[in-house]
């Protein structure tokens, strides 16, 4: 279980974003659990990776950053550190410090951390294989496998183009025209294993939420188009006017349009048992569910029991076991409703459900 996020700063020895009271309560609750859950802190994230390039750029910076990490681990009795650098050598949010040597320097950081604390098992949240100095995904990441306990593949928030609805977390995209191919589980897992990262060290990231779109009834019926009403997207299940603001780059952002699985139930899209309360379809190609409210004209692309459980129509739970992956990581489990998603995945993978 992870606490997110610890944020990078221009000073590699200074990590911010940690609420001391909440982190302490998080660790205590995890360790008091009957299953003895390992509390892990995540460094980075979408809004916290601005200075990842800086903190790994030199030997001195890496030493200071490692010291700051280990101080957190010791102070709060944490069991691990998860690096969520979005993304080494690749600009994302728009104002991250980026350098062509980011991935190589990140590897040096991991190697130094292992030497400093051989017991600590670092992990990393990733998408495609790390970016090489040529700007392309690396074709050999075996050295990372030696120092990372595992990686979690964040194959969600794929969404779609700006004009058409698309799956939030597609299993496959072979069916889609090339202009609508933005990434999916199967090819990304293949990229990692072909780049010499063992499947048994790969955890598949799954989302307990979906993205919403405003779609006219006429377009909603036509599954081949589902074009958007570009007058503005709908508010998500937890969006409020206070959510309007600016990102770390100073750019304004609007409502997220995100509906958690729990939010879909509380907002009436789903019945209490998790079944759809409105027009519903599952795309067998991407293994993604869609629900549509004809009154509000809101369509949501999300995952549910049918897209997770191989005994129904979906393949995502079965994909994990068939490909001998290490398991799954849900972002985040608080978005589940009555443990429907967790229980479905456990059933699909043949493991005991949590109480």
Q: What is the CATH number of the domain that holds 64?
A: 3.20.20.80
pLDDT for res 273: 87
Do 121 and 29 reside in the same domain of the chain?
yes
Please indicate, yes or no, whether residues 187 and 299 belong to a single structural domain of this protein: no
Residue 10: phi and psi, rounded to 5, are -60, -20
Domain enclosing residue 164, as ranges: 2-207+306-349
| Cβ atoms of residues 196 and 140 within 8 Å | yes
Given a cut of 80, whether residue 46 has pLDDT beyond it is: yes
Instruction: Indicate whether 355 belongs to any domain.
Output: no
Residue 41 has pLDDT above 80, yes or no: yes
DSSP one-letter string for 313-335: T--HHHHHHHTT--EEEEETGGG
Are 178 and 279 members of one domain? no
Which of 107-111, 254-258, 332-336 shows the lowest per-residue confidence on average (mean pLDDT)?
Answer: 254-258
Residue 313: the pLDDT is: 45
Is the pLDDT reported for residue 224 higher than 70? Answer: no
Do 191 and 248 reside in the same domain of the chain?
no
Same structural domain, 223 and 184: no
Q: What are phi and psi of 70, to 5 degrees?
A: -65, -30
What is the number of structural domains in the chain? 2
Pick the residue with more confidence: 53 or 177?
Answer: 53
Structure-block tokens of residue 71: 């101080």
Other CB atoms within 10 A of residue 177 CB: 7
Task: Let me know if residue 265 belongs to a domain.
Answer: yes
Please report the pLDDT score of residue 34 as a whole number: 74
Instruction: Kindly report which listed range (4-13, 15-24, 211-220, 307-316) carries the lowest average pLDDT score.
Output: 307-316
Average pLDDT (321-345) is 93
Q: How confident is the model at residue 355 (pLDDT cuts 50, 70, 90)?
A: low
Domain match, 296 and 332 both: no
Same domain, 138 and 265: no
* 354 in a structural domain: no
Residue 114 lies in a domain: yes
**Same domain membership, residue 154 and residue 13:** yes
Q: Are residues 148 and 277 in the same domain?
A: no
Percentage of the chain surpassing pLDDT 90?
66
Say yes or no to pLDDT of 352 above 80: no
Q: Is 194 part of a structural domain of the chain? A: yes
**Model confidence, pTM:** 0.92
Domain annotation covers residue 224: yes
SS3 state of residue 260: strand
pLDDT one-digit tens code per residue, 61-82: 999 999 999 999 999 999 999 9
Q: Are 65 and 106 in contact (CB under 8 A)?
A: no
- Which of 288, 303, 318 corresponds to the end of one domain? 303
Average pLDDT, the chain: 90
185 in the same domain as 246: no
Looking at the structure, do residues 162 and 111 belong to the same domain, yes or no?
yes
Same domain, 19 and 8: yes
Percent of the chain with pLDDT over 70: 93
């Amino acid at each position: 279980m992870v606490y997110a996020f610890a944020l990078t700063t221009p000073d590699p020895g200074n990590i911010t974003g940690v609420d001391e009271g909440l982190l302490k309560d998080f660790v205590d609750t995890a360790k008091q659990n009957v299953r003895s859950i390992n509390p892990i802190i995540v460094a980075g994230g979408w809004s916290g990776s601005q200075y990842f390039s800086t903190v790994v750029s030199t030997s001195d910076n890496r030493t200071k950053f490692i010291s700051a990490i280990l101080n957190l681990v010791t102070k709060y009795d944490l069991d691990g550190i998860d690096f969520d650098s979005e993304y080494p050598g690749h600009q994302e949010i728009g104002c991250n410090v980026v350098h062509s040597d980011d991935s190589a320097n990140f590897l040096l950081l991991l190697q130094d951390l292992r030497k400093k604390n051989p017991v600590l098992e670092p992990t990393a949240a990733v998408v495609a294989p790390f970016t090489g100095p040529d700007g392309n995904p690396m074709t050999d990441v075996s050295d990372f496998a030696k120092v990372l306990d595992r990686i979690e593949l964040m194959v969600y928030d794929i969404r779609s183009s700006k004009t058409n609805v698309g799956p939030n977390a597609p299993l496959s995209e072979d069916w889609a025209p090339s202009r609508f191919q933005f990434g999916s589980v199967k090819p990304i897992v293949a990229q990692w294993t072909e780049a010499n990262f063992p499947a048994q060290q790969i955890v598949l990231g799954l989302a307990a939420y979906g993205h919403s779109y405003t779609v006219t009834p006429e377009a909603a019926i036509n599954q081949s188009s589902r074009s958007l009403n570009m007058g503005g997207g709908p508010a998500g299940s937890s969006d409020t006017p206070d959510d309007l603001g600016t990102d770390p780059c100073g750019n304004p952002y609007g409502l997220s349009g995100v509906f958690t699985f729990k939010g879909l139930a509380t907002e009436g899209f789903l019945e209490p048992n998790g079944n759809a309360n409105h027009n519903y379809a599952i795309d067998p190609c991407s293994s993604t569910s869609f629900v549509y409210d004809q009154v509000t004209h809101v369509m949501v692309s999300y995952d549910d029991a049918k897209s997770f459980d191989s005994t129904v129509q979906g393949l995502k739970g079965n994909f994990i076991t068939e490909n001998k992956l290490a398991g799954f990581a849900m972002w985040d489990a608080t978005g589940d409703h009555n443990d429907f998603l967790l229980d479905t995945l456990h059933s699909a993978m043949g493991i005991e459900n949590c109480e």
